Amino acid sequence: MTRIAIVTDSTCDMPAEWDERRRVHVIPIHIRFGEESFLEGIEIDENGFYDRVNRDGVIPQTSQPNPEEFASFYRSLSKEYDAVISMHVTARLSGTYQSAAIAADMVKDEITVRPYDSACGSAGLGFMAREALALIDQGGTLESVLARLDTIRRRMNILLTPETLKYAAMSGRVSSLGHAMASLLNIKPIIVLDEGELIAGERVRTRRRAWQRMVEMMQERLGNAPANVAVVHARDPQSGKALQQLAESAFNCERVWLTTLAPSVAVHLGPGTVGLVGYRL
């Protein structure tokens, strides 16, 4: 039986309760404050990230691991595994997938690597990794796991609302933002992941209404079908738990999971961001 490793990057968010966290191989995103660069989750954690943002008063930049880093990472797995599925944050917003694809070709004579563009990130990527591991445990082949990932990718929904538009405006990662008018009117946009891109969609007047509207929008997408659902938050567990409570009775799922947004994702939306991630099984 082919021994398959699951590799992802540090934009992948998985709830603390998941044992699978220990079985996923994570390559870190680079977070840069000026001339200083840190490996996410290794050289800088969530607390260190936000402390530095508050201290410096600037929003850092992020960059993907380079192909050489990926190649070294894959080679380190070649003694224990025959193949790798390397799933990464949406290629529309990051060069991580492209780096992985270049590295896969570099090591093709040493280990089989299948780079995979998740077209999402955060807990969406976490759900993908978890399902991939479950299929591998059941004896799934490389192709059967990739086929399931394709299904999840088509069904994935991610809705987010930031507390402030400052970070999103500075990052330039959200289309159709209308920052000046929204800030003036204290309007809260609901940001939708659409075909791998973050699009500012509906706008509402209050945070609470934004949370309620996200639940309604996710209900429209999932209906009463069995689903996986998670709430994500950026250094705002109180708001995360409030959204979790709103969502708990709204979906046909095992439970509504709660997890934090990785700093490499939160940097583009800011602390106080909360969101819903869900897909039909």
Q: What is the DSSP string of 212-253?
A: HHHHHHHHHHHTTSEEEEEEEESS-HHHHHHHHHHHTTTSEE
Instruction: State the average pLDDT over residues 152-162.
Output: 97
**Biggest CA pair distance of the chain:** 60
Residue 253 resides in a domain:
yes
The H-assigned helical ranges of 116-159 are 122-137, 142-155
Place of tokens 């260190």: 48
Spatial separation of the C-alpha atoms in residues 279 and 265, rounded to whole Å: 20
- Which domain does 140 fall in, by range? 4-29+64-154
Instruction: State the average pLDDT over residues 255-263.
Output: 97
Spatial separation of the C-alpha atoms in residues 187 and 180, rounded to whole Å: 10
Express each pLDDT in 193-218 by its tens digit: 998 988 888 889 899 999 999 999 99
Spatial separation of the C-alpha atoms in residues 78 and 76, rounded to whole Å: 6
Express each pLDDT in 182-196 by its tens digit: 554 568 889 999 989
Q: Give the pLDDT score at 185.
A: 56
Residue 75 resides in a domain:
yes
Cβ atoms 12, 262 nearer than 8 A: yes
Domain match, 81 and 195 both: no
Instruction: Name the percent of the chain lying above pLDDT 70.
Output: 93
- β-sheet with 61-63: strand ranges across: 36-39, 30-33, 61-63
The yes-or-no verdict on residue 176 having pLDDT over 60 is no
Mark which of 105, 126, 154 sits at the end of a domain: 154
Domain match, 181 and 259 both: yes
Domain match, 170 and 127 both: no
Contacts of 269 (CB under 8 A, 6+ apart): 160, 162, 167, 168, 171, 174, 191, 234, 261
pTM of the model: 0.94
Residue 170 resides in a domain:
yes
Domain match, 81 and 199 both: no
Domain match, 138 and 76 both: yes
Number of domains within the chain: 2
Residue 46 resides in a domain:
no
Question: Among 46, 277, 275, 10, which residue's Cα sits nearest to residue 163?
Answer: 275
